[in-house]
Each structure stands twice: as structure tokens, then as C-alpha cells.
Structure 1
Amino acid sequence: MAILTLIRHGQSSYNLENRFTGNVDVALTPLGEQEALSAGKKIKAINYDIAYTSMLKRAQKSLAIILQEIHQKTMPVVRNGALDERKYGDLQGLNKEETAKKYGEEQVLIWRRSFAVRPPGGESLEDTYNRTVPYYQSEIEPKLKDGENVLIVAHGNSLRALMMYLEKIDNEAISKVNIPTGTPRNYTFDGQLNILKVEYL
């Protein structure tokens, strides 16, 4: 039996300002740091063997706070761009409300939530899936099969891609899935990686 925990980083400065963040390397807010601390408290009882995060500092900082809280600072940590947030292209840094006024709410919703449509100059969720899931399959699944407990601290869209894969969520249903910041989602697997239990902690 193995445990996989997915955690979206705490609130970032662009989350607070309601801006499209994408792969802009923005910092956590004080609330974001508190959310990471709270996430750590919720997973304190789990002993992890390895942690994964993206190349972006908001995820790395969240992970560092979590590891300190769970007293597992010496655990191996792997950073990889496959877990980065999707690129929002020309929308990065723009205020979401102002962008909706300019292009229409429906168009912005399609850019944000559809599986296959890319925002101008950016990545779709499908593009994110196609880099995140193969990395998960090659690097992380073998560890879970060996019974290791794995912690991943990453981003809304890279984690939505993993949820699609793990929970067999279709292209339509994923548009309604929103992952809250700083809230651990826990998967318990059997030896064949069948999900025995999944829940937010």
C-alpha cells in the first residue's frame, strides 16, 4: 500500500491580485505561507519517502514550509519543469476581470477551463497533461508500486492533469474541477496502483 499526496501551492501574489500567473515566477503571499503551514499540519501523520515539486518558487517555498512543519526536511526533493504551471502566454500578468471585459467572459472561460484550447501564445490543459503525466508515469509510479509514499507540491493545472489521469476524469468534467490552494488531496493505492481511497484532508 502506498500514499500519494497532491498539494497546490499556497496563495501567490498574482492569485491575490486576480492575475493570470502561468509560469511567471511569483512569490507566495503571507496568507499563502499560512496555507502551506496548514497543509503541513494536515499531513503530519504520514511518513513520506520522497517529494516532488516544480521549478517555480511558489511551489518550492510551499514545499519547504510543509517539510519543516512535518519534520521531514532531510527527505529527497526532486524539482522538475514537467510539474510547472501551464503557460498562459499573452494573458500572463493580465487582470482576469479586465481580460474578461476585453474578450468576453465566455472566451476567457474557454481559455481557462477547456481541455484542448490554448490561450494566445500559451499552453492548453492538454499540453500540460502531455508533459506532466508521462513524467509521473516514468518517475513517480514506480516508487508508488514499490510502496513508497510520495508528496507532490505543484500547481492548479499540472495537478488537474494528474487528477484526470488518476481518477479517469474526462475532458468535459475536468473543466469543472478547481483545486483549492494549500489543501492536501490524498490517494491511497494497493500494490497494483488501484485507488482504495481518495479524499481532501
Structure 2
Amino acid sequence: MAATMFHQAIGTLEPRGHIGNSALHQECGSIPMRLMARSLKFGTGPLKREHYGSRKRSCGSIQSSSSSSYQTSECNPLNGNTSKKPSEAALILIRHGESLWNEKNLFTGCVDVPLTKKGVEEAIEAGKRISNIPIDMIYTSSLIRAQMTAMLAMTQHRRKKVPIVMHDENEQAKAWSQIFSEETKKQCIPVVTAWQLNERMYGELQGLNKQETADKYGKEQVHEWRRSYDIPPPNGESLEMCAERAVAYFTQQIEPQLRAGKNVMIAAHGNSLRSIIMYLDKLTSQEVISLELSTGIPMLYIAKEEKYIRRGSPAAPTEAGVYAYTKNLAKYRQKLDEMLH
């Protein structure tokens, strides 16, 4: 019955592009059709885009560390097509679940604090929402709460592919973590950790109780530190400073993967993700300061035909119709259903 409903839901949709060949052994995404799509233009070569802090800007030039050279398979067993160039990719953004210092109302910043039980549950719920979206690569910050969120989310994915943290900090780490089975590699998803995706550093506020800090310095001062664009807390980072590193890493390391047709998930933090969304949605510095991201709620963008299309949060993985954002991907999901059942 569910398969019939799904077939009916996709029957009248027009093709919008070829799914990336690298979406090996994965399924298509859950996208609420009612949400407003916002598109932004890519450029040729390095993506050209208006800078994210104003209407007339250029992208940051900060240098970031290189990501892993792990390559996912380019063969798609569902359609046998290895010649077409991928023209569409999914980008999933997830803010980590509640941490132990979130629970205690402490400024966390770059202090490496794990998830609470609630945070674990939020991560698992996020995984359920994206359980049918193809994922080829995962990027997280270097902080454990983001990494836990990514790993727990992937326990819910239908294909049960194994997320593997890439260790390329030195030659020995690369050698010791090498996988020698090509078949095993096909059932893995590389996880790249990057400090550039860390939460912004809160300086001398880290570890302080938020309410006590407001009582000491005044609510207005603390609000300015937390929500202004370019005013950092004492010896810490402003959102602007966080955006410089996060967006530079995104454009240099992650966008090339999207252009190649790889479906990417990023598990990170409120401010690093706000910075990336600021870039994707071309928000001004005034618009971004009011942007709030809930913990454990995934957001989906489709990179297609030199545009980013914002789809919001996948909310109903069991509803057939929400997968039909392209006919090709809808058929891909349907084929996976047949394989798994």
C-alpha cells in the first residue's frame, strides 16, 4: 500500500536532474514541499557569491586545513550509470543536541563537553528525519558533542553504512587507520573533523553561568556579546570572526564535494552553522543575528544546477509524497524500498 501511494505521489513530477553517482547504496531525501525555496548562484571554479556580511561582499580568503582524501565509490548499482556527470546534491545541516553545559546554563564555546541524555535523544530523532536522504560524506567540528550527534544520527539511517572518522593528522595515523577491503569501503561513510566548524570561542565567558554573568555585567552587555555580529566577548570570537573560518572551510573543502555530486551532512554548532546559513541564504549581518537554530533539528538544502535550494527540515519520513522533490530521486527511493523489502 505504501509503495503504491509513493508511486502515485511521484508519477506526475518532471525530472529535475541526475542524482550523483556517488550516492551509492543510499536513498533519497525527505523534503516538505510547502517550505519556501531560496536559491543562490554558484560561480565557475571556486564558487562566487556575494559575501555573507552585507549585500556587496566577497568570500573570506582564510586558509583551512585540507580534508581527507577518502574517495567514495562512483558506481551506482541502482541504475548502472557511471557516465553522467552529477548535477544535484543534498546538504544536511544539524546543530548538535543538548550538551551537559547547555543543561547547566553555562557558556560552552570551544570547551569539549558531551551530550546529555536529552541530547542523545535529539540526535537519534534527527537521524530518523534524515534516514532516507543519501549521505556520502560527513563533516563535523572537532568537538565531541557534534561528533556524537553525527554518529548517533547515522545509527538510524536505513542503509546502515558505517561512519568512519578519517585520521590524516600524520602519516602514521593514515597508515594505521587504513581499510584494506574495497567491499568494506563501499559500506562506509567518511567522517572529516575540522576545528574550523567549531562553535565560536566565548573567551573569558566559557564555563560561566549565563544568568550570573548577566547579573554581573548587565543583560544588555551580555546580549551584545552573544547576539551582535562584530563585538566579541572578552578574549573571544565575534560571530564575524567565527564566520570567517567556518565559511572559508565550507567554500574550500565542502562545496567542491557538493559540486562533484556528493551528498554531505554537517554536524556542528549554533554559530558555525549560522555562519554557513548566512552564506547560503545571503543574509546580512543584521539578519543573521536573529537567526535561531534548534538543537537536533536537521535542515536540508539541495545543490542543483548552480543553485542552492532551501528545503527546510525533513519532518515526515513515512509520508511517501515528501520524497518526490525530483522524479529521479523519487524513483531511487522507490527502488531502495523494493531492495530492502
Q: TM-score, normalised by structure 1?
A: 0.97
SS in 2 for 1:134: helix
Once superposed, what is the RMSD of the aligned Cα atoms? 0.9
2:199 matched to 1:85?
A: yes
Larger Rg: 2
Distance, in Å, in 2 between the alignment partners of 1:195 and 1:51 is: 18
Distance, in Å, in 1 between the alignment partners of 2:288 and 2:236 is: 19
Query: Which structure features the higher share of helix residues?
Result: 1
Alpha carbons 1:145, 1:191 under 8 Å: kept: no
Residue in 2 aligned with 1:119? 233
Which residues in structure 2 correspond to 1:1-201 (within 5 Å)? Answer: 1-70=88-157, 71-73=160-162, 74-192=188-306, 194-201=307-314
Structure 2 unmatched ranges of 5 or more:
1-87, 163-187, 315-341
Distance, in Å, in 2 between the alignment partners of 1:86 and 1:34 is: 24
Q: 1:191: Cα distance to partner?
A: 2.8
% identity of equivalent residues: 47
Q: TM-score, normalised by structure 2?
A: 0.58
Distance, in Å, in 1 between the alignment partners of 2:310 and 2:227 is: 26
Give the letter aligned to residue 161 of structure 2.
Answer: Q
Distance, in Å, in 2 between the alignment partners of 1:66 and 1:150 is: 14
Alpha carbons 1:147, 1:191 under 8 Å: kept: no
Q: 1:197: Cα distance to partner?
A: 3.1
Distance, in Å, in 1 between the alignment partners of 2:227 and 2:267 is: 21
Alpha carbons 2:90, 2:134 under 8 Å: kept: no
Alpha carbons 1:8, 1:182 under 8 Å: kept: yes
Give the letter aligned to residue 169 of structure 1.
Answer: L
Distance, in Å, in 2 between the alignment partners of 1:67 and 1:164 is: 26
The 3 A distance-change label for structure 1 pair 197 and 161 is: closer
Alpha carbons 1:10, 1:35 under 8 Å: kept: yes
Runs of 4+ residues over 4 Å off in structure 1: none
SS in 2 for 1:147: coil
Structure 1 unmatched ranges of 5 or more:
none
Q: 1:66: Cα distance to partner?
A: 1.0
